[in-house]
């Protein structure tokens, strides 16, 4: 197999179709970094990541991290070696994705074959409704009323009014909610019964990650899922007894290689798995589709929030995400 010999990275901006609000602020654009690894024969693999300010990342810092391993990549550093060369996070995700893509091209095989996994099939993905007034969120839910699964972003305000509006507009949709660390224990305890009665299937990261020990021993009527609290398999010991599920995002784990390790370790410990994403293009979603067969919740709708996706993007039909074509990734 020809060794990689060139690693490069560029940043890109992808405007959103509409402003997207969560408890921490409003996004109007997806800023991504795309890494490319090219071998001496001219084959090239690509991987995409989202630098995330909440984790202290910027576009410049991520591009700098990628540049720091360029020499090692040229000398043959592989995906396993990359786990030691870069910390978990966006930069490692982009490089890991590019290495997977290049290996697939070199071997003439798909990523799921190289990983020893079953061939991915279409999976139900959540479609996300950002924070707005109850009327705005109800209107958006009506537009998505045929979606089988809706993910509702929330903060601490008007929770019942917002969810009532969504449920009334899309009564047949399954619901999961995501306060993005925006609640406290008192609010969670007060809302648990209401959310269960409404049929909400999961609460994602209700309280701040640095203070989530308050969840230990809590008897919540709705399963709790760790997002900001869970980055890699090393976090699982602490999360046992706090959460029922973990949300695996490649930008947190630092790529598919570490994500596969996390999924295996989480399931072995009895955690259910959610597969999530940052707001990004189909290139950022594609590697995560390999994790969907083992997930009870899939949330890979990032490209649906964009005004326009990249060429050869993923297909979404009737609330289902389809596996990537080789022309996109892997």
Give pLDDT tens digits for 277-318. Answer: 999 999 999 999 999 999 999 999 999 999 999 999 999 999
Of the candidates 108, 142, 161, which is a domain's last residue?
108
**Residues 25, 54 within the same domain:** yes
Q: CATH number, domain at 9?
A: 3.30.390.10
Q: Is residue 118 part of a domain?
A: no
Q: Please, are residues 314 and 321 in contact by the beta-carbon 8 Å criterion?
A: yes
**Residues 138, 103 within the same domain:** no
CA distance 113 to 111: 5
Q: Is residue 113 part of a domain?
A: no
**Residues 133, 270 within the same domain:** yes
The catalytic residue among 27, 105, 151, 153 is 153
Give the chain's residues under pLDDT 50: none
**Residues 169, 60 within the same domain:** no
**Residues 93, 132 within the same domain:** no
Q: What's the pLDDT at 2?
A: 63
Annotation marks residue 153 as catalytic: yes
Of the candidates 47, 75, 108, which is a domain's last residue?
108
Q: What is the DSSP letter of 223?
A: -
**Residues 259, 308 within the same domain:** yes
Q: What's the pLDDT at 23?
A: 72
State how beta strands 320-321 and 123-124 pair. Answer: antiparallel
**Residues 302, 162 within the same domain:** yes
Q: Please, are residues 253 and 52 in contact by the beta-carbon 8 Å criterion?
A: no
Please count the structural domains in the chain: 2
Helical H runs in the chain? 59-68, 70-74, 79-85, 90-107, 111-114, 134-143, 159-169, 185-198, 236-239, 250-253, 256-268, 282-285
Q: Is residue 299 part of a domain?
A: yes
> Which class for 17: exposed (0-12), middle (13-18), buried (19 or more C-beta within 10 A)?
exposed
Structural domain boundaries, residue 58: 4-108
Q: What's the pLDDT at 231?
A: 96
Q: Please, are residues 114 and 100 in contact by the beta-carbon 8 Å criterion?
A: yes
**Residues 98, 156 within the same domain:** no
**Residues 204, 248 within the same domain:** yes
Q: What's the pLDDT at 244?
A: 97
Annotation marks residue 325 as catalytic: no
Q: What's the pLDDT at 25?
A: 81
Of the candidates 108, 138, 169, which is a domain's last residue?
108
Q: What's the pLDDT at 137?
A: 96
Rg over CA atoms, the chain = 19
pTM exceeding 0.85 = yes
Q: What's the pLDDT at 3?
A: 61
CA distances to 24, 100, 139 from 169, rounded to whole Å, are: 26, 42, 7
Q: What's the pLDDT at 234?
A: 95
Q: What's the pLDDT at 26?
A: 87
**Residues 279, 316 within the same domain:** yes
* Mean pLDDT, the chain, whole residue set: 96
Q: Is residue 116 part of a domain?
A: no
Q: CATH number, domain at 242?
A: 3.20.20.120
The catalytic residue among 27, 139, 249, 252 is 249
Q: What's the pLDDT at 48?
A: 98
């Amino acid at each position: 197999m020809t060794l990689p010999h060139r690693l490069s990275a560029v940043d890109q901006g992808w405007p959103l179709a509409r402003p997207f609000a969560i408890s921490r602020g409003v996004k109007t654009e997806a800023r991504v970094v795309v890494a490319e690894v090219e071998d001496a024969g001219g084959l090239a693999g690509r991987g995409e990541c989202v630098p995330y300010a909440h984790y202290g990342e910027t576009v410049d810092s991520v591009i700098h991290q990628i540049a720091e391993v360029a020499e090692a990549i040229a000398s043959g550093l592989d995906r396993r070696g990359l786990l030691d060369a870069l910390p978990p996070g966006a930069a490692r995700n982009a490089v890991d994705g590019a290495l997977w893509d290049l290996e697939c091209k070199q071997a003439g095989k798909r990523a799921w074959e190289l990983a020893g996994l079953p061939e991915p099939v279409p999976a139900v993905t959540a479609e996300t409704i950002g924070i707005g007034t109850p009327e705005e969120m109800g209107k958006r839910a009506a537009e998505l009323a045929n979606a089988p699964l809706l993910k509702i972003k929330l903060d601490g305000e008007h929770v019942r009014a917002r969810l009532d509006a969504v449920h009334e507009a899309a009564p047949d949709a399954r619901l999961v909610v995501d306060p993005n660390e925006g609640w406290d224990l008192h609010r969670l305890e007060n809302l648990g019964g209401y959310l269960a009665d409404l049929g909400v299937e999961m609460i994602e990261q209700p309280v701040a990650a640095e203070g989530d020990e308050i969840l230990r021993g809590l008897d919540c009527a709705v399963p709790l899922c760790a997002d900001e609290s869970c980055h890699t398999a090393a976090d699982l010991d602490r999360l046992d007894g706090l959460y029922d599920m973990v949300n695996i995002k490649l930008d947190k784990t630092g790529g598919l290689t570490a994500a596969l390790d996390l999924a295996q370790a989480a399931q072995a410990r009895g955690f259910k798995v959610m597969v999530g994403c940052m707001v990004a293009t189909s290139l950022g979603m594609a590697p995560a589709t390999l994790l969907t067969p083992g997930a009870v919740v899939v949330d890979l709708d990032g490209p649906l929030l964009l005004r326009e996706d990249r060429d050869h993007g993923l297909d979404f039909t009737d609330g289902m995400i389809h596996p990537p074509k080789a022309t996109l990734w892997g």
